[in-house]
Structure formats: structure tokens, C-alpha cells
Structure 1
Amino acid sequence: MTDTQIIAPVPAKAETPFAQFRAEFFESKIAVGALITLGIVVVLALLAPWITPQNPYDLAQVDVMDARLPPGEEAFSGYTMWLGSDGSGRDLFSAILYGLRISLAVGVASGVIALFIGTFVGLFAAYVGGRVETLIMRFVDLQLSFPASLVALMLVALLGKGVDKIILALVVSQWAYYARTVRATALVERHKEYVEAAICLGLSKARIMFRHILPNCLGPLIVVGTVQVASAISLEATLSFLGVGLPQTQPSLGVLIANGFEYMLSGRYWISVFPGLALLLTVVSINLVGDHLRDVLNPRMKK
């Protein structure tokens, strides 16, 4: 009789948190489609100087004779304007991609700066507590009681037009959202055992806040960050459409929509509709990605 060989079962390889997050995120076809769409939009915006037939804001490349051409018409310079032209003779495809560069830059820059300010304020308030926390959070509640669009509109009216001015206005109108989110999450972490142990070991307050508490607040921050970037892009477009955001020399999607608004009743719909569709596609893609990130990062949202 031959001895039978007993083979011990091979333990399954533990899945890393990143691999688990990636697997859960890519389960949603809608979120994947939104992410791919957003990636295409960003790549097209970055490559705008190399893939567009003209620089729509270089007066030497713009011909007034090409003004208000419908989609598919050939310009006097020889190339086809697939999306038509605006009232100044600028190729709309080129103008939209250049406008996306400005809109995305304003949204991301204001979101990142507001995130840093709000994160620091929220962490500090949650860790210190007491009257300091009460005073900070009452100020946050006071700002959140006003609509962000109203705060940004007042600041832009005072500061004037320009990319730097509108970024500052968006930061001031958005940082409180990050502060409230971080403070709420940090309060839960503040009373856990690992924080109490770090305090007993004599670690500095800055190290406890940024090395121990902050990493556990990143999930909600990522979700709020994506939503606020989309909100900043929409708000910048609204302010530019109203004529108080960016000047005509610094194009954005809001400026392009405003330029074509006066031609809507005359049937030249494409001047406003195509920039509006580009804005809608960008904002919806960011929001869909942010919504699915919320579902993946929040265990309560998982089925």
C-alpha cells in the first residue's frame, strides 16, 4: 500500500485595500464611463494648443469674415469648422477646448486651496475643542448660512475680474464645507484609543492631527473634494456668464455661453449650445465619479 500525500490548502492571498477599492469602483459601469469621459475631457483640454486648428484668442488667427458660420462650414482659411464659429469668427471647437483649460484650472486650483484651508481649520477645531471649537464652528455655520454663489458674487464684485480674483472668491466660498466635514470626522477619531495612546506617549499636537487623525479623514475629503470641484466649475461659469467672472481675454465655458446668448433668438444656437454641452458633460462626469466614490468609501452605502 502506498502512502497518500496530504497537500495542505494554500491560503488565499490577502487583497490589498487599494485592489479592493479598485475592484469595487469598477463594478459600476456608469462610474467607469464617467471616469473615461472625464479623462477624455482633461486630455483634450491639455492638448488644446496642438490639436485645435487655431488659437481662438490670437487676433492674428481670427477672421471676422468667418463669424457665425454654422457647424460643418468651411472657413476662409480653408479648414472646416465642425462646431461652427461665434460672433467674432472664432472656431468653436478650438474655443471650447481652450475654455475647458481655464474652467478646469479654476475649479481644481480653488478646490485644492480650499481643501487645505478647510482641513487645517476642521482638524484644529476638533482636536482643541472647548470654546475655540465653538467659536470656529459658529463662524463656519455663519458662512454656510449664505449661498456659495452669493458669497462668490459679492467678492468678485469687490475684487474685480481675473483668474486669480475668481479663484480667491471660490476658495472663500468653499473652505467651510471642508472644515465642517473634517471636523465631524475628526471628532469621531479624536476619542479613539490610538489617539489617547499617542497623547500619553507625549507626541506633539501637530503630529497627532496630521499623522494619526488626518489619514482617517481622507475618505470623506475625497468625496467632498470631487463634488466641490464640480461646483466650482459651475459657479465660475455662472459668474462669467453674468459678466462678473473672467474677462473676454481669458476664455472659459461661461464666457463662451454668454457670447452666444444674444444670438439664440436668431437661430444661431450652436454658439451657446455646444459650450453648454461641454460644461454639462464635464460637471456631470465629475459628479458621477464623486457619487460612486461616496458609495465605495462609505461602508453604510455598500449593498
Structure 2
Amino acid sequence: MSDQLSNAAKPRFRDTPFGVFLSRYLDSKVATLAFVVLVVIIVLAIIAPWITPQNPYDLAQVDVLDARMAPGEEAFAGYTFWLGSDGAGRDLYSAMLYGLRISLMVGVLSGLIAMVIGTAVGLTAAYAGGRVETLIMRLVDLQLSFPAILIALMLVAALGKGVDKIIVALVAVQWAYYARTVRGTALSERSKEYVEAARNLGLSPRRILFGQIMPNCLSPLIVVATIQTAHAIALEATLSFLGIGLPQTEPSLGILISNGFEYMLSGKYWISIFPGVALLLTVFCINLVGDQLRDVLNPRLAK
């Protein structure tokens, strides 16, 4: 009897906050499938060096005689080009997985840095109020009034090519979205009783901002982070496709699509199509996951 009472007193997993969150997320079969596909893509990108027949950006492993091989043809080294090869003789399957590593790294890293900067700016604007808030938000409005691709183009043209340069450009494009989101959430929290209690207790503004207000801004931040990560990956691919993003020596889905574009009319469709499908699938899955997270964390929007 005592064992039954103790077991009944223990909360079941599905009744815990994480269990409720998980059950709500799994209500959407499409979002669940998107999450599974996204995890598979991330895992394949991480373990790419161990599951690909070649390092497509090691010149010692690439043979120009293997250029533009159709899917299923055999390379001179003996392995099969399951997705074909590009104009330089690189195995397209290997190049795509290596390209995913760079694209995901650029998207996630730029998103994290932009989130940190935007969160600090948004919290400062909401807590300070007055002229400080007005000045900050006018800068945010000015930033958001220009197309993101235009700002990124100007910055990359000024900074030059490279992974670090493209990350700086993407951070400059994204931080304002986080700042506006955090400021809007923090404004509703600023006048609540727990913030007033923290002020009366003599807590410093820094502790109030990051210890009291910021935890209540995490839900919208998570949603914005997923959407902006997909945006950053697509934007990096666009810049690389235009030839001003990453250099040709760096694997990137945008560069792979660009390299095969000139062969499209000659029937070598696979050089651009397969990397394009990989890019589309990655961005699509991230957006679906972000949409479902938004609905779960804010049910009013789902309705």
C-alpha cells in the first residue's frame, strides 16, 4: 500500500513541464518529421569526414578526369559517385556534406552572436526607457528598414571573402530582430511586481535585467533564433552563389550551386540540383521546427 501511494505521489513524465512541452510538439506529425530530418542532416554533417569517400577540398584526393561524372558512375579511384561529380572532379555527395558543415556552422554561430548582442540591446532599451530607449529603437528601425541582403552585400564587399567576414555580416543583419523581440517582451515584464520587488531589494540593474527579466524572454528568443538560423543559412548561400560570400576553397552549398549553374543547359543538372535540394530541405525543416516551437510556446498564436 505504501509503495502504491509513493508511486502515485511521483509526477509522471508527461505531467512535467518538459513532458507537456514534448507532447504538444509531437502533436504535429509534420513538425516531428521535420525535426527528425533536421537531426539526421546535422549528424551527417558532423560525421562527414568518416562517411564520405574523399575530402573534396583536398587536391591530392581529387582527379580532374572525374569531372562531371553522372550519378552512379565509377571514379578512377574505384568508388562510386552516387550523386555524380562537379566540374572539378569532386564527389558531389562528399562536397554536399562538407558544405553542410560550413553552412550550419555559419548559421548557428552568427545566430548565437547576434542573439547575445540583440538581447543585451533590447533589455537595455526596455529597462532604461526614455531617451535611451528612443535612440536604440530608432537605430533598430533604421536597420530593419533596409533589406537584409543589401546590408550583407555592402558589408561583405567592404570586408572581403572568408568565413569570419560572412559571420560578421550576418550578425550585423540579424541583431536588430533579436533586439526588437526582447524589447517588446521586456516592456511587458518591466512593470510587474517581481521587478519592483527586485528594485526595492536593492538589486543592481544588471542583475534585474539578466537574472529577473531575461528568463521570461527566452520563449520568443528560441523561436526567433530558429527562424533567423534558417535565414542566415539561406543568406550565406545567396552571397556565395553571387561570388562574394565564401571563397572557392571553402565548401558551401551556395558555392556548389553556383559551380553547377553554368552546366545546367548542357544536361549536367545534378551539380546544382542536389546541393539546391539539400539547402532547401535544411532551411525548410528549420522553419517548420521554428513554427511548431512558436505554437507550443505561445498557444494563442496557434489559435
Q: Do both proteins adopt the same fold according to a TM-score greater than 0.5, normalized to the shorter chain?
A: yes
Aligned counterparts of 1:116 and 1:148: Cα–Cα separation in 2: 19
1:36 to 1:62, Cα distance in 2 relative to 1, 3 A:
same
Where do 5+ consecutive residues of structure 2 fail to align? none
Deviations 1:225-261 (A, max 9, x none): 0000000000000000000000010110000000000
Deviation at 1:85, TM superposition (A): 0.3
Q: CA deviation at 1:12?
A: 8.4
Alignment of 1:130-145 (within 5 A): 130-145=130-145
Amino acid at match of 2:228: Q
Match in the other structure for 1:218: 218
Q: Find the counterpart in structure 1 of residue 287 from structure 2.
A: 287
- CA distance in structure 1 between the aligned counterparts of 2:264 and 2:248, rounded to whole angstroms: 19
Matched residue type, 2:175: W
**Corresponding letter in the other structure for 1:68:** R
- Following superposition, the deviation at residue 289 of structure 1 comes to 0.1
| Aligned residue in 2 for 1:209 | 209
Matching residue of 1:4: none
1:248-267 correspondence runs (5 A):
248-267=248-267
Root mean square deviation of aligned Cα: 1.2
Q: 1:1-303, aligned counterparts within 5 Å?
A: 13=11, 15-302=15-302
Q: Which letter does structure 2 place at the counterpart of 1:119?
A: T
Q: Given the superposition, is the C-alpha separation of residues 302 and 11 from structure 1 closer, same or farther in structure 2, using an over 3 Å criterion?
A: farther
Deviates more, 1:23-32 or 1:163-172: 23-32
Q: Which amino acid aligns with 2:33?
A: G
SS at match of 2:71: coil
Q: How many Å separate the matches in 1 of 2:236 and 2:226?
A: 16
* 1:133-169 Cα shifts (integer Å, max 9, x gaps): 0000000000000011110110000000000000000
Q: Output one character per residue of 1:94-148: Cα deviation in whole Å (capped at 9) or x when no partner.
A: 0000000000000000000000000000000000000000000000000000011
What per-residue deviation string (whole Å, max 9, x for no partner) do you get for residues 268-297 of structure 1? 000000000000010000000000000000
Question: Following TM superposition, by how much is the alpha carbon of 1:23 offset from its aligned partner in structure 2, in angstroms?
Answer: 1.1
Measured after TM superposition, the shift of residue 11 of structure 1 is 6.8
Tell me the TM-score normalised to structure 1 length.
0.95
**1:33 maps to amino acid:** L
Instruction: Give the Cα separation in 1 of the matches to 2:77 and 2:275.
Output: 23
| Amino acid of the structure 2 residue aligned with 1:41 | I
* Letter paired with 1:57: Y
Q: Give distance in 2, aligned partners of 1:203 and 1:63.
A: 65
Letter in 1 for 2:230: A
* Gapped regions of structure 1 (runs ≥ 5): 1-6
Secondary structure of the residue aligned to 1:249 is coil
> Aligned-pair distance for 1:302?
4.5
What amino acid sits opposite 1:241 in the alignment? Answer: F
Counterpart-to-counterpart distance in 2, 1:176 and 1:91:
39
- The percentage of counterpart residues that share the same residue type is 73
Q: Give the 3-state SS of the residue equivalent to 1:93 in structure 2.
A: helix
Shift of 1:175: 0.2
What is the Cα deviation at residue 299 of structure 1? 2.7
Deviation string, structure 1 residues 186-244 (Cα, Å, up to 9, x no partner) = 00000111111111111111111111100000000000000000000000000000000
Counterpart residue identity of residue 151, structure 1: I
| Corresponding position of 1:3 | none
Structure 1 16/79 Cα, relative in aligned 2: closer, same or farther at 3 Å? same
